Structure 1
Amino acid sequence: MSVMDGRTRPGSDLAGRYGMLTAMVLAVLGYQINATMLSPALPDVIDRLGTTTAAAGLSQTLFFLMAAIGQVTLARLSDGLGRKPMMIVCAVILIIGNVLCVFAPSIEIFIVGRVLQGVSAAMFTLSFLALNQLLTPAGFGKAAGIITAINGGLAGIDAIAGGHIADTIGFRGIFVVSTLIAIAGLIGVHRAVPDMPPAARDSKLDSRGVIALSLGLTGVLVGLAQGSTWGWTSGLTLLFLIGGLAAMVAFVLLQRSGANPIIDIEVLASRRAWPLLLTTVCTLGGAFGAIALTIPLFSQDARVGLGLTALAAAVLFLTPIQLIGVISAPYTGRIGPRIGWRRIVVTGAVCNVVIFAFATVFLHSTWVLFTALAALGVTYGGFMLTGLNGLAVTSSPKDKPGSLSGLNGACFGIGASLGIAIASALIAAGSDSQGVTEAGYTNAMYAALALLVIGLAAALLIEKPAERADDTGDAGDDEPQLVLTHH
């Protein structure tokens, strides 16, 4: 037996662990298809619930916002209470949220269901932490690539199915499918995922920090999402935005002075943490805001868009990135431990900016847009998503292994929520009496591109492994080493 960063690992790779990996895949897929399958069905949600584009955008914003909050809280709780119990909690919450969305009579109940579904996003971070605790570095890389592949959906099949369901029986059928998968994942986690000793002795959670972070994220993101509807200078918008920023400042102060912070402020301020988190936020904000909201709405807009059906839009613009991502993410997981997770992230960030620039300029060209999104299957679905997860797990401080990875997982939700909020606000602002104008979609795409450029700049600032002399005990992600410790 060998020990890495104080965590016991078996000497074997993935041998004998495929039942466990399958259970984790089902568990994360139950959450993920609520994002990928629903995207082409958003127009159907608006129509059947008699709501607006802004309200539908808010439901997406809150979905990813709660994903951020859930990952911070449940990942840190799992350090002391165990990975498996928290995974079971996630699955149960997801099932409850799905049932609410299936029977939702109004947009308000639908939003409550989406909020609960969002919390279950912590299943991704919990799976990465469990795999890192159970497997060798090489085995973790392979398994992390497979789990990351699910982050884009089920090889595009779910996007096609979501479009077909939206065109036929309506959006509610999507949540029926998600519920069945979530139940299978719950059973699989209970039976196949082994019990693991707590990774940290202290299971206390900084409740004040969690509350401040939750209020801060909610204020800023809801304010951005609803600003165009409420009015950017209205008292309600300013209350959310200013209150949210104040809560974020309080969060930083609490982390500096608290006895048991979510993450040490010194770690958060280091170049191994904040540039990584900023890269994740901007990458998800740029890519997801366009992929999950702007492009699905634009492609189905018969007045100024491409005028496609939900099924056609899913096949052309969602399926390629997911299908290619399923192939590229596991491959990235294999090479990541060898060439370095940071190098993977920087390469992906550069390619994403170039590809997205083409997609933005040639938005009305169906086949250029199709080709660009297919290429993102490699650079975004493979390199970025896998690299960011791998870098976060391997860079976490050994005494709180769930801290940095949990915050990075939260940044996936924050970024996606921010991207949706900005896209929704710009699309709504670019509307006239007849509906969304071409300028609304174009502005949303340029905003997404700007976020990706900021993400690239942040990626270049991430500390190189050779520069790091920290408490993780390894020489950097370029050359992973096992460090023996004695208990």
Structure 2
Amino acid sequence: MSVPNAPAAAIGTPPDTPVLTGGRAVGLVATLILGVLSYQLNASMLAPALPHIARELRTDVAEVSQVTSLFFLAGAIGGVVLSRWSDYIGRRCALIVVLVVAAVGTIACVVAPNLPLLLTGRVLQGASSAAFQLAYVILSESLSAKVFGTTLGVITAVNGGAGGLDGWVGGLLTDNFGYRSIFVVILIFVVISLLAVMLVVPAGGRPTPTGRMDWWGAAALSLSLICMTYFVSNGASAGWLAPVTLACLAGTLVSFIAFWMIEKRRTSPLIAVRHLRSRQVWPVIASTILTLSGIFAVINFTVVLLSQNAEVGYGLNAATSALFFLAPAALIGVAAAPLAGWLAGKQGWIRILRAGLVLSLLALVVIAVFPTRQGTVIACVAVLGITYNGLVLTTINGLGVLLSPPEAPAALPGLNGAGFGIGAGLGIAIVAPFTAAGTLGGFTTALWVSIAITGLALGASLLIRSRPGQKL
């Protein structure tokens, strides 16, 4: 299988958008890397600093944890809304808006004297999640098919952080200069990337010359995402049948139904209902949510807790656990993601996604069968760096671009980006009660639950179909 001569043709790129080559293409990719790093460093560098923030702002760690949860919630909403808005105002303009908002939020975090202002800054920073979706679409509209897959893999690799070392650097900055130094470093990245975008990213043509942004649909979908996020978090803490949890579930359903009804009546919807029903859209989103629910929870939660458990696990400290189980997959993914994009361009995006899920399932099964064998688990997590961080994440991001409706090129990338956050939170919430037992049986059950969810992700991927005339 092969992709069309230019991915842009598959998503409706305007004819006046130039295809960049040589140095201009390299400059564009480097600029987009800076842009997505402005978001990713916000996501990964702050974790070691949470206790320091709690002490300086005279609050507890539970309250400070909102700097992470609100950041990712804002990212889910910003990724959907701002990326779709770019169909009307242009990619370059939207990316500039995203980075300006991120800069304002970062400045607020640097000077914040209290938690409310810090949380406000984190919400503004989280909106910069749209940098990823915008980068994917800009690559598809500006580069040829020969380099699209590889460069998309490069951007996807950044989604795993700076080789797994960014959290470690965040800890060093906090210990030596205080947690605010993290935001100063991030602000430097944001300013440099903003200047680079203004100089390097082409203005191009406007993909949607008619219609207006569907702000009512965006509001209804955003409310649904907010309610869903709190449904997952409250379900994990208060119980899935607790009144507050059920209220959040009801809010999720009501607001999504409202979104559906709004979209049916709009001439320029956020995404048309007929597309939501199509096998180019909903199976992609379902595959993303289920994949993150299954595999992300294993790598970033269950295995990490198992490795630090002194009774049935390996008794490692937090730093050693991260070095053995988080850094390898991230580092391997940095190299594997670009290769996965190149391979998908040669063999087919859907085929490589399914192959990655099958291989990931095999690695997960080995972990579940031999959870007490530390060396075996480390090796399997490294394999997931190739199959999950490389093959699966790269192809699912690529399909989000290539299968997006022609009249709404940024719609599916935005929805797919929101699926990443939903899936990650849902997966951890589902397995948390089993791992909380701290027993070998609890950890094993959590692993098999994740395997079952990943199997559903594979099933969803089998339902993905390309549009007539596409070969994906």
TM-score interval, smaller chain? 0.7 to 0.9
Map 1:264-413 → 2, pairs under 5 A? 264-296=272-304, 299-300=307-308, 306-413=314-421
* Among 80, 92, 104, the residue aligned to 1:96: 104
* 1:450 and 2:458 matched: no
* Among 459, 462, 472, the residue aligned to 1:460: 462
Local SS of the residue matching 2:225: helix
Partner Cα separation in structure 2 for residue 44 and residue 302 of structure 1 = 26
Partner Cα separation in structure 2 for residue 344 and residue 181 of structure 1 = 33
For the 8 Å contact 1:58–1:225, the answer to whether it is kept is no
* 1:430 and 2:425 matched: no
AA matched with 1:336: A
Q: Which residue of 2 aligns with 1:87?
A: 95
Task: State the 1:98 CA deviation.
Answer: 3.4
Q: Which residue of 1 aligns with 2:471?
A: 476
Partner Cα separation in structure 1 for residue 343 and residue 145 of structure 2 = 11
Local SS of the residue matching 1:17: helix
Map 1:91-130 → 2, pairs under 5 A? 91-102=99-110, 110-130=118-138
Local SS of the residue matching 1:195: coil
For the 8 Å contact 2:236–2:429, the answer to whether it is kept is no
Q: Which residue of 2 aligns with 1:251?
A: 259
Structure 1 unaligned spans of 5+: 478-487
Task: State the 1:272 CA deviation.
Answer: 1.5
Q: Which residue of 2 aligns with 1:484?
A: none
Distance 1:231 1:379, change over 3 A: closer
Question: How many residues align structurally?
Answer: 463
Residue deviations 1:132-157, cap 9 Å, x none? Answer: 11111223222212111111112233
Task: State the 1:475 CA deviation.
Answer: 2.8
Local SS of the residue matching 1:332: helix
Partner Cα separation in structure 1 for residue 19 and residue 421 of structure 2 = 34
Local SS of the residue matching 1:237: helix
For the 8 Å contact 2:85–2:213, the answer to whether it is kept is yes
Partner Cα separation in structure 2 for residue 421 and residue 89 of structure 1 = 33
For the 8 Å contact 2:164–2:326, the answer to whether it is kept is yes
Partner Cα separation in structure 2 for residue 99 and residue 360 of structure 1 = 45
AA matched with 1:345: L
AA matched with 2:450: A
AA matched with 2:270: I
Q: Which residue of 1 aligns with 2:221?
A: 213
Local SS of the residue matching 2:24: coil
Map 1:121-200 → 2, pairs under 5 A? 121-162=129-170, 164-165=172-173, 172-200=180-208
Residue deviations 1:275-330, cap 9 Å, x none? Answer: 11100111123333344445555545667764544432332222211211111111
Distance 1:6 1:220, change over 3 A: closer
Local SS of the residue matching 1:181: helix
* Among 1, 16, 30, the residue aligned to 2:24: 16
AA matched with 2:262: L
Partner Cα separation in structure 2 for residue 274 and residue 82 of structure 1 = 25
Local SS of the residue matching 1:312: helix
Partner Cα separation in structure 1 for residue 355 and residue 393 of structure 2 = 12
Local SS of the residue matching 1:205: coil
* Among 41, 45, 55, the residue aligned to 1:33: 41
Partner Cα separation in structure 2 for residue 171 and residue 438 of structure 1 = 37
Residue deviations 1:177-202, cap 9 Å, x none? Answer: 33322222122112211212211113
For the 8 Å contact 2:312–2:372, the answer to whether it is kept is no
Residue deviations 1:22-59, cap 9 Å, x none? Answer: 11101101211233334566676677775356x56655
Aligned alpha-carbon RMSD (Å):
3.2
Task: State the 1:373 CA deviation.
Answer: 1.9
Partner Cα separation in structure 1 for residue 365 and residue 68 of structure 2 = 25
AA matched with 2:70: L
Greater CA deviation, 327-336 or 227-236?
227-236
Q: Which residue of 1 aligns with 2:14?
A: 7
* Among 60, 64, 69, the residue aligned to 1:51: 60
Greater CA deviation, 160-169 or 187-196?
160-169
For the 8 Å contact 1:294–1:441, the answer to whether it is kept is yes
Structure 2 unaligned spans of 5+: none
Greater CA deviation, 36-45 or 9-18?
36-45
Partner Cα separation in structure 1 for residue 315 and residue 174 of structure 2 = 15
Partner Cα separation in structure 1 for residue 20 and residue 28 of structure 2 = 14
Task: State the 1:418 CA deviation.
Answer: 2.8
Local SS of the residue matching 2:189: helix
For the 8 Å contact 2:338–2:390, the answer to whether it is kept is yes
For the 8 Å contact 1:288–1:419, the answer to whether it is kept is yes
Distance 1:267 1:377, change over 3 A: same
Distance 1:27 1:338, change over 3 A: same
For the 8 Å contact 2:324–2:378, the answer to whether it is kept is yes
Local SS of the residue matching 2:280: coil
Q: Which residue of 2 aligns with 1:485?
A: none
